[in-house]
Structure 1
Amino acid sequence: MTASDVGPAVDDLTRWRAPGTVGFSATLQGALAGWLVMLYDPHPLVAHCGTVNRVQIHLRCRWRGIGVAS
């Protein structure tokens, strides 16, 4: 897969914002290395908690610590 294959899908993910979701992306040397989508409950009592729903890391970026919880 090339950037032209994946780019439109990633663009759609970053534009789509459903209530209770947030997205993050990581770049490495100017290229997309990975992304994730988190779900959260916007209620004030539990808004500080979130669940990682999806994580994708480019194969060339694996084993470099991208996407690892710290």
Structure 2
Amino acid sequence: LMSTAEEFAKEIMGKPPLAIRLAKRLINSSLDLDIRTGLAYEAASIALISTTEDFKEGITAFLEKRKPRFKGV
């Protein structure tokens, strides 16, 4: 179980930090929200994340068929 958890943690560490932080907040807050409010928060979060350098890096890396180098900005 520990090795599976460590593998999962390493995978998450390779993702864009701001997006992970925001996703965690959305997941935690969604328990107390109605669906309409939750979807509105999700849409606002996507709009915010799409303005980051990491978002651009993810798209560029995908198009260039390489691993992204996220910086947390």
Q: Same fold (TM over 0.5)?
A: no
Q: What is the TM-score of this pair, normalised by structure 1?
A: 0.28
Which structure has more helix as a fraction of its residues?
A: 2
Q: What is the TM-score of this pair, normalised by structure 2?
A: 0.28
Which structure has more strand as a fraction of its residues?
A: 1
Higher relative contact order (CA 8 A, sep 6+): 2
The structure that has the greater radius of gyration is 2
